[in-house]
């Protein structure tokens, strides 16, 4: 019996995108919806983000493929922000995104007044930890509330049981975790003057720290787990790929992936894997259980920090932190995205990391297949043969000996 026949609704898979190229990859590799940021008023100021022109194109591309686009405007706004926010929302009204993600009540009111046709979603930054808060936002007109990352599955289920059926729950299921409650951190502002709550976080939770005793200024005492020191705020990454049935049973409407500063390889790997896991489960729970080793393998083929289940099964213990380094695990290198085919049968590629003629590389396809192919030839834009491409983002043309397709992704095992 299909899961829909048992009363379960397939959740939305919501994937981040830092730019137009990544948005298209997210759509083609399995996202139901994509969330993006404009050049202002979101919490990823260091991301490339979207200009008005690229946002229009991205929304049009997603809608042409039957997908949705949500725009983040979830800063904690100060007085000087409000006039610009009103103007921005009027511009968004013309672009017709499917929702705006907001945390600030004042910004919420401006959005209701200036763009009443656009759905309003409440950001995790609003500290949404109980059903009364969900009801509050629903009364004001919110369509969806993003749960705080500090909630367990049991608490989310309790919220679902106590809110209107038409109010949607969106929950982070994968990606980097913030050490601060609902991501509302003051460390960046304190150390560097760059406010995390206005989009300028410098990620001090990933820094290496020492202890200083009050009466001995300037004398740094190492807080050691090993010779490299201890990164006392550095959380592992969230990964719930093995718990799809529990997430569905909790009544979550949208599975959200963190990562608006991630590469196309990361987005493609995570989107494609969660897409297959969700679809497998709704086709047949036994198929999902059988394929868990495949999901584990595929989800690890992009950068990550070790995995944790966060707060879903209770408060995390010491094992949820990484104490000896702040680096990612990187098992695969991103090489680029296949473009159009030229007259000689070579495919255009903007190279992201070096590879050479004769190398064996893996080709990711949106339909879930992975092909191991050998690089038969590399040419520059003038048609000259090359042994390798030493310059990042150089446009080259490649022959892998078999027919490729646009938007296939090339990667190489480390």
Q: What is the pLDDT of residues 52-78, one digit of tens each?
A: 999 999 999 999 999 999 999 988 899
Alpha-carbon Rg for the chain in angstroms: 22
326: left (phi over 0), alpha (psi -120 to 50) or beta: alpha
- End-to-end alpha-carbon separation of the chain, Å? 42
Residues paired with 72 in a beta bridge: 37, 101
pLDDT for position 325: 54
**206's tokens:** 């990933």
Residues of CATH 3.20.20.380 domain(s) within the chain?
3-177+235-329
CATH 3.20.20.70 correct for 332-413: no
Identify the sign of the CA torsion 89, 90, 93, 94.
Answer: negative
> pLDDT tens across 163-172, in order?
999 999 999 9
pLDDT for position 323: 47
Task: Assign 86 to helix, strand or coil.
Answer: helix
Residue 164: φ, ψ to 5° = -60, 145
Residues of CATH 2.40.30.10 domain(s) within the chain?
332-413
CA distance 37 to 154: 31
> pLDDT tens across 226-237, in order?
555 556 666 778
Residues sharing a CB contact under 8 Å with residue 249, sequence separation 6 or more, in sequence order: 8, 157
CATH number assigned to the domain with residue range 3-177+235-329, chosen from the 4 options 3.40.50.2300, 1.10.357.10, 3.20.20.380, 3.30.390.30: 3.20.20.380
The mean pLDDT value for 100-120 works out to 97
What mean pLDDT, rounded, does the chain reach? 87
pLDDT for position 220: 73
Place of tokens 């137009």: 20
> pLDDT tens across 280-328, in order?
999 999 999 999 999 999 998 886 667 888 889 987 665 655 545 555 5
């Amino acid at each position: 019996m299909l899961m829909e026949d048992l009363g379960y609704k397939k959740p939305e898979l919501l994937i981040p995108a830092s730019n137009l190229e990544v948005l298209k990859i997210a759509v083609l590799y399995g996202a139901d919806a994509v969330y993006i940021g404009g050049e202002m008023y979101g919490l990823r100021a260091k991301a490339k983000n979207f200009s008005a022109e690229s946002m229009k194109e991205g929304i049009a591309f997603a809608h042409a493929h039957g997908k949705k686009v949500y725009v983040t405007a979830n800063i904690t706004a100060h007085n000087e922000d409000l006039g610009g926010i009103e103007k921005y929302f009027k511009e968004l009204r013309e672009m017709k995104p499917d929702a705006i993600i907001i945390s600030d009540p004042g910004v919420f009111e401006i959005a209701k007044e200036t763009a009443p046709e656009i759905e309003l979603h409440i950001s995790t930054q609003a500290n949404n930890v109980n059903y009364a808060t969900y009801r509050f936002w629903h009364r004001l007109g919110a369509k969806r509330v993003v749960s705080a990352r500090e909630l367990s599955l049991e608490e989310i289920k309790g919220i679902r049981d106590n809110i209107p059926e038409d109010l949607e729950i969106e929950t982070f299921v994968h990606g980097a975790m913030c050490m601060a409650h609902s991501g509302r951190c003051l460390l960046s502002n304190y150390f560097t003057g760059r406010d995390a709550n206005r989009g300028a976080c410098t990620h001090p939770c990933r820094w290496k720290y020492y202890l200083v005793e009050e009466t001995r200024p300037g004398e740094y005492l190492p807080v050691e787990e090993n010779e490299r020191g201890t990164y006392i705020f550095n959380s592992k990454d969230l990964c719930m790929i093995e718990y799809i049935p529990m997430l569905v049973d909790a009544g979550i409407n949208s599975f959200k992936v963190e990562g608006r500063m991630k590469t196309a390889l990361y987005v493609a790997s995570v989107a494609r894997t969660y897409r297959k896991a969700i679809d497998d489960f709704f086709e047949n729970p036994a198929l999902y259980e059988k394929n868990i080793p495949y999901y584990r393998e595929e989800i690890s083929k992009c950068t990550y920090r070790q995995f944790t289940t966060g707060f879903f099964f209770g408060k995390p213990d010491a094992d949820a932190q990484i104490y000896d380094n702040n680096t990612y695990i990187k098992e695969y290198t991103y090489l680029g995205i296949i473009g159009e085919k030229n007259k000689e049968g070579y495919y255009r590629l903007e190279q992201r990391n070096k590879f050479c003629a004769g190398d064996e590389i893996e080709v990711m396809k949106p339909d879930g297949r992975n092909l191991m192919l050998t690089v038969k030839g590399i040419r520059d834009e003038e048609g000259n043969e090359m042994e390798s491409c030493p310059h990042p983002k150089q446009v080259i043309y490649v022959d892998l000996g078999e027919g490729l397709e646009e938007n296939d992704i090339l990667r190489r095992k480390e």
